[in-house]
Structure 1
Amino acid sequence: MAKSSKPASSDEALSNGSNSSEDERMNDRMEVDDDDDEELEAVARSDAASDEDDDPVPEEIADEDESNGDDPEVSKREKERLKEMQKLKKQKVQEILDAQNAAIDADMNNRGKGRLKYLLQQTELFAHFAKGDQSSSQKKVKGRGRHASKVTEEEEDEECLKEEEDGLSGNTRLVTQPSCIQGKMRDYQLAGLNWLIRLYENGINGILADEMGLGKTLQTISLMGYLHEYRGITGPHMVVAPKSTLGNWMNEIRRFCPVLRAVKFLGNPEERRYIREELLVAGKFDVCVTSFEMAIKEKSALRRFSWRYIIIDEAHRIKNENSLLSKTMRLYNTNYRLLITGTPLQNNLHELWSLLNFLLPEIFSSAETFDEWFQISGENDQQEVVQQLHKVLRPFLLRRLKSDVEKGLPPKKETILKVGMSQMQKQYYRALLQKDLEVVNAGGERKRLLNIAMQLRKCCNHPYLFQGAEPGPPYTTGDHLITNAGKMVLLDKLLPKLKERDSRVLIFSQMTRLLDILEDYLMFRGYLYCRIDGNTGGEDRDASIESFNKPGSEKFVFLLSTRAGGLGINLATADVVILYDSDWNPQVDLQAQDRAHRIGQKKEVQVFRFCTEYTIEEKVIERAYKKLALDALVIQQGRLAEQKTVNKDELLQMVRFGAEMVFSSKDSTITDEDIDRIIAKGEAATAELDAKMKKFTEDAIKFKMDDTAELYDFDDDKDENKFDFKKIVSENWIEPPKRERKRNYSESEYFKQTMRQSAPAKPKEPRIPRMPQLHDFQFFNTQRLSELYEKEVRYP
């Protein structure tokens, strides 16, 4: 039966007896030890004072020094006393740590008992993965004949008491948020908190996989606040997240739950040493926020603690169980593990097993058993396998979409804006295709095709990304920065319109050097901006975000690299997102868009995706749309086929696409159309692509699970192979001269060296030239000739 959310006291309503009493004893111990804090702090200050002559001396030591003067015996006794007090301080800290770890370990043993029972209540599938535990729990039947199934009165009473105890301990449901949480939680966020509490009460680890921008961070912080307020559990908890998101985690903890004492464990070796010795001490902190790198590098310091919760943000980073990060995270001793990810689970059975193995290693211990259980043998068994998979995931996974829960969130509209190429871009694009003509025409290695694809995409972004393309030195900022790239012309038309309507803009690109060009452009046009990329430090990153988000900020544009700026950053004060180039993985672009399209956004978010017409970029975007459609289909229908990376044939089609248009003319294809006209055409092109994707999805639904079909192929794509690529470029092609082949060794010398019995003789030094005889009648400058001879002999 459901319970009220706010009891009069934490001990009377929501906590279990054994857990609460253990935590109370630990807290009482910590309160008693707090009486000695002042003395311990004085000891620390005195110890530091003894090392530095200029620091003030404690009064008790000063009095003794005045009375005893410079007596060496007194000084020796004083040092021993300080050393003893320092030792006492370490002992007390260690006692607190030992008591804390013992309480957590005891709680871990208690929680593990009801875990399998809860899972079996959800579905009997878990009996397949934990047969040993189930068989050991079966009781031996007493009695004979028709009395064999009867139970005694004592057994019945024991069973009733156990069921009543389980019912009281596992049905907590909050109807209002914890009072320690500042701000107002939304209904679905409170529902998410109740789901996390239910997992906690049943000893289950879980995956919080809400769509990006729905407040997963707040729901996680509210869980720690609930444990603090109702259960009396202050931690310690560890949050492991990408380095770029640590500042956001610290800000959110201070903002939503200031009662939690959070420590950010990051910095250079000297800073980390100070944090280890002074801040990361048992009883002095509740939450440790650190990065993936620090979790690996500082594992010896972090493994001293037994953790209540280990929370992993962007948890898809541990989907490979053989990675160093995944192996390290499994070493930590913890009661609970919570994975946070906004990226849908990939349709890969082994990666799914890896996450489930991390959550419940004692149940999902064998990857082979898991694969066999969910193996698809044919189309008829697919639906049954999907149902089994959903049953397995149901107790662990919570995923909700914005469209389902956040009705008040303004919509997001994406428009693909296509633009032509400048004369310089066409020149470089043709040169890149001609340079590797044989590879492009006949098909080469995948690695070489990937390199060509990358170079073509650089050309689509801006030709100045190639060495020597920008005129100079001296390098000057001017109109040439805009006119030599089609996307820059488009951006120069779009930004003034956005500025007029008081919009604020996020511009994402995968290339850091392109951000340098955009930075020069923004300074040239006088737009105020901020910037974050992979080289931006943590403090500068936080300062830039705060400067952009503060009320009345004059910053108009925020430049971000897609990978570094697409995670864990809240920039809801912007309402326009420009994807200057598209990522191969569409989930990365979605994460970038959700920096603005998230809770707190009051305007409709417009996403403009730039695309250079009749180039490889059209195929990259088309493939991204197809992959998104397939991912949605995977989640909906549970398809479990391996996700394919882009193969050689796909790359070849992408590289070849638009070559005929590029070689047909050397002139620029950038038009002088008004920006409104360009946006209207972009909306029509986006609608056409959406219709194409709808048909593609319908075809994929009918698709049979076999390895021979190619999901990423449209019918019209196969016409690409019908033309001879070399013929297209023949008019502009200049046959390169044949390579001159030189012999770099002598055959006779080689065999001579090989057949030699003894070591070759050392080469003789050149002979010293002899000084010619100089006669008087020859009228030579004998003095100058003698000087030259000396130089030749002494300085060869």
Structure 2
Amino acid sequence: MGYLHEFRGITGPHMVVAPKSTLGNWMNEIARFCPILRAVKFLGNPEERNHIREKLLQPGKFDVCVTSFEMAIKEKNALKRFSWRYIIIDEAHRIKNENSLLSKTMRLFSTNYRLLITGTPLQNNLHELWSLLNFLLPEIFSSAETFDEWFQITGETDQQEVVQQLHKVLRPFLLRRLKSDVEKGLPPKKEIILKVGMSQMQKQYYRGLLQKDLEVINAGGERKRLLNIAMQLRKCCNHPYLFQGAEPGPPYTTGDHLIETAGKMVLLDKLLPKLKHRDSRVLIFSQMTRLLDILEDYLMYRGYQYCRIDGSTGGEDRDASIDAFNKPGSEKFVFLLSTRAGGLGINLATADVVILYDSDWNPQADLQAQDRAHRIGQKKEVQVFRFCTEYTIEEKVIERAYKKLALDALVIQQGRLSGQKTVNKDDLLQMVRYGAEMVFSSKDSTITDEDVDRIIAKGEETKAALDAKMKKFTEDAIKFKMDDTAELYDFDGDKEENEADFKKIVAENLVVELPRRERIRKLQ
């Protein structure tokens, strides 16, 4: 937009459509790079929007209209009045379904040029890619069927050829920029997996959850119930106080018990003073907003200053928190964020440490979260600490995430982009069963009193071992021809053998068949 204005004399009007959470950042960046452009943020309640429509959004009074996906749909009649020079869609994979309301609405606007900005243009299959290209150039990419035919793998054309064809077609329409291309001086990002044991209370809950749902696990259960068990086990790995009745009280008091009852909290309590001492600033991500409440109590107890953003934080509060954290000389040491709400479009490059308290099923969400700190403007090396509870479902979730990333990197398998969005039932069963032996064999806490440097050194070894395993996995997958029986997501060992082991462990540890208990009410 700056180039068009400065060199070509084209002043607009342009429209930027982006997620609501990033509009503040868009306005800041326009003011920073192109202060000459008059930008209007089109957002707010009906009265505010009415004022913007009548006073600001008038021909000749503005150059750029920045609005959200929801507003573009709600205010389409007001926006249709203009003939736009450029329509720019941020997080453009949101229009990958050509039949969605957003995609249909965006096609109504009159515009000379269209620009899509996305970090994931190739997500699941070729049809979604066609949908984006069709939006850019409806005359050229008019038929989805023809597009699919171009990229069919047949006997004569092998995968390599199809990939080359696809790249050739995409090249004129795609400008791919890595951060390292744009900013040569960006320091690297280093990820370390820190493994930690469970407290006595966590073991008690973990064992109880497995025992309660024995018949589901033994019988294989349906996916929905297995997912629920998996969710409960992950809550247990995070903190037992996520379950109702676990925390002593009322009255509820904040004290050392908040730390000692969860392995990850013990680890966090060792790590933060060290980071504070070296003048680092920290982002902590979790998927569970209830866990952020516990972390808030902990930070207050230890006297650390912090900010917080989750899905319920309003736009103005978000912007205020980000500004408070980023301002020069800020006293804020920690920023608590929920992975999905805080992983989008926020710039927190004043932090140089990212702690992933728990991992997302979708590895892309964790990568987006890390990139809140690893952005242009970052002056220090970014360290990512991924917390993982040993011998539990979490180890398998992390391994699956790495496998999914490795598969995504292979791009195309049999004319379709490899991408398994959901976890299948067998994988879930393997994950839930993993580590049961350790949990049943001892009731004692497995939290060690190792110092944090030793834990970090072990974490680096764990990460190196996982990288080596993934390298072999990728090599195997490249040699591999997709067929219906293949399971790239297969986990360690033979399923029947695992099942027999699991039944044996349970039989040895349960003298009597436990009665069915009422399900613990989900707090999430």
TM-score for the superposition, normalised by structure 1 = 0.63
Distance 1:406 1:701 in 2: 32
Cα 1:468/1:720, change in 2 over 3 Å: farther
Are the equivalent residues in 1 in contact too, given 2:198–2:446 (CA < 8 A)? yes
Are the equivalent residues in 2 in contact too, given 1:581–1:610 (CA < 8 A)? yes
Distance 1:442 1:358 in 2: 47
Query: Mind listing any 5+ residue stretches in structure 2 that lack a counterpart?
Result: none
Identify which of 343, 349, 352 aligns with 1:572: 349
Are the equivalent residues in 2 in contact too, given 1:437–1:726 (CA < 8 A)? no
Which whole-Å deviations, capped at 9, do the CAs of 1:188-231 have from their partners, x for residues lacking one?
xxxxxxxxxxxxxxxxxxxxxxxxxxxxxxxxxxxx11211222
SS at the partner of 1:234? Answer: coil
Identify which of 653, 660, 667 aligns with 2:444: 667
Instruction: Say if 2:57 is the partner of 1:280.
Output: yes
Cα 1:696/1:609, change in 2 over 3 Å: same
Which whole-Å deviations, capped at 9, do the CAs of 1:370-411 have from their partners, x for residues lacking one?
112211124853222222111111111121334555442111
Distance 1:636 1:590 in 2: 23
Are the equivalent residues in 1 in contact too, given 2:179–2:376 (CA < 8 A)? no
Cα 1:432/1:737, change in 2 over 3 Å: closer
Displacement, 1:546?
1.1
Instruction: Map 1:6-45 onto structure 2 (within 5 A).
Output: none
Instruction: Say if 2:162 is the partner of 1:385.
Output: yes
- Aligned residue number for residue 523 of structure 2: 795
Cα 1:739/1:268, change in 2 over 3 Å: closer
Cα 1:717/1:348, change in 2 over 3 Å: farther
Aligned residues: 520
- Aligned residue number for residue 517 of structure 2: 739
SS at the partner of 2:493? Answer: helix
Are the equivalent residues in 1 in contact too, given 2:413–2:482 (CA < 8 A)? no
Which whole-Å deviations, capped at 9, do the CAs of 1:582-639 have from their partners, x for residues lacking one?
1111111111111111111111110000001111100010011111111222179986
Are the equivalent residues in 2 in contact too, given 1:633–1:639 (CA < 8 A)? no
Are the equivalent residues in 2 in contact too, given 1:574–1:596 (CA < 8 A)? yes
Cα 1:544/1:225, change in 2 over 3 Å: same
Instruction: Say if 2:502 is the partner of 1:702.
Output: no
Identify which of 8, 14, 26 aligns with 1:249: 26
SS at the partner of 2:416? Answer: coil
Q: Which has the higher contact order (CA 8 A, sep 6+)?
A: 2
Are the equivalent residues in 2 in contact too, given 1:512–1:533 (CA < 8 A)? yes
Are the equivalent residues in 1 in contact too, given 2:284–2:356 (CA < 8 A)? yes
Distance 2:417 2:450 in 1: 46
Instruction: Map 1:404-419 onto structure 2 (within 5 A).
Output: 406-419=183-196
Are the equivalent residues in 1 in contact too, given 2:404–2:419 (CA < 8 A)? no
The structure richer in strand per residue is 2
Larger radius of gyration: 1
Displacement, 1:643?
3.8
- Aligned residue number for residue 7 of structure 2: 230
Are the equivalent residues in 2 in contact too, given 1:378–1:705 (CA < 8 A)? no
Distance 2:145 2:523 in 1: 76
Which whole-Å deviations, capped at 9, do the CAs of 1:537-594 have from their partners, x for residues lacking one?
1111111111111111111101111111111111111110000011111111111111
Are the equivalent residues in 2 in contact too, given 1:421–1:668 (CA < 8 A)? yes
Are the equivalent residues in 1 in contact too, given 2:121–2:129 (CA < 8 A)? no
Instruction: Say if 2:461 is the partner of 1:684.
Output: yes
Cα 1:379/1:269, change in 2 over 3 Å: same
Displacement, 1:459?
0.9
Displacement, 1:345?
1.6
SS at the partner of 2:494? Answer: helix
Cα 1:605/1:397, change in 2 over 3 Å: same
Which whole-Å deviations, capped at 9, do the CAs of 1:334-373 have from their partners, x for residues lacking one?
1111111123522511111111111111221221121122
Are the equivalent residues in 1 in contact too, given 2:406–2:470 (CA < 8 A)? yes
Distance 2:57 2:29 in 1: 20
Are the equivalent residues in 1 in contact too, given 2:159–2:414 (CA < 8 A)? no
Are the equivalent residues in 1 in contact too, given 2:193–2:460 (CA < 8 A)? yes
Identify which of 373, 376, 379 aligns with 1:596: 373
Are the equivalent residues in 2 in contact too, given 1:509–1:561 (CA < 8 A)? yes
Distance 2:462 2:268 in 1: 19
Distance 2:259 2:329 in 1: 30
Are the equivalent residues in 1 in contact too, given 2:153–2:415 (CA < 8 A)? no
Displacement, 1:737?
5.2
Cα 1:411/1:720, change in 2 over 3 Å: farther
Are the equivalent residues in 2 in contact too, given 1:420–1:670 (CA < 8 A)? yes
SS at the partner of 1:723? Answer: helix
Query: Mind listing any 5+ residue stretches in structure 1 that lack a counterpart?
Result: 1-223, 741-792
SS at the partner of 2:285? Answer: strand
Are the equivalent residues in 1 in contact too, given 2:153–2:414 (CA < 8 A)? no
Cα 1:373/1:697, change in 2 over 3 Å: same
Distance 2:151 2:485 in 1: 21
Which whole-Å deviations, capped at 9, do the CAs of 1:721-756 have from their partners, x for residues lacking one?
352433322344x4245999xxxxxxxxxxxxxxxx
Displacement, 1:323?
1.8
Instruction: Map 1:594-673 onto structure 2 (within 5 A).
Output: 594-634=371-411, 640-641=417-418, 643=420, 645-673=422-450
Cα 1:393/1:720, change in 2 over 3 Å: farther
SS at the partner of 1:334? Answer: strand
Are the equivalent residues in 2 in contact too, given 1:441–1:724 (CA < 8 A)? no
Distance 1:622 1:794 in 2: 26
Are the equivalent residues in 2 in contact too, given 1:379–1:704 (CA < 8 A)? no
Are the equivalent residues in 1 in contact too, given 2:205–2:236 (CA < 8 A)? yes
Displacement, 1:702?
0.4
Are the equivalent residues in 1 in contact too, given 2:42–2:52 (CA < 8 A)? yes
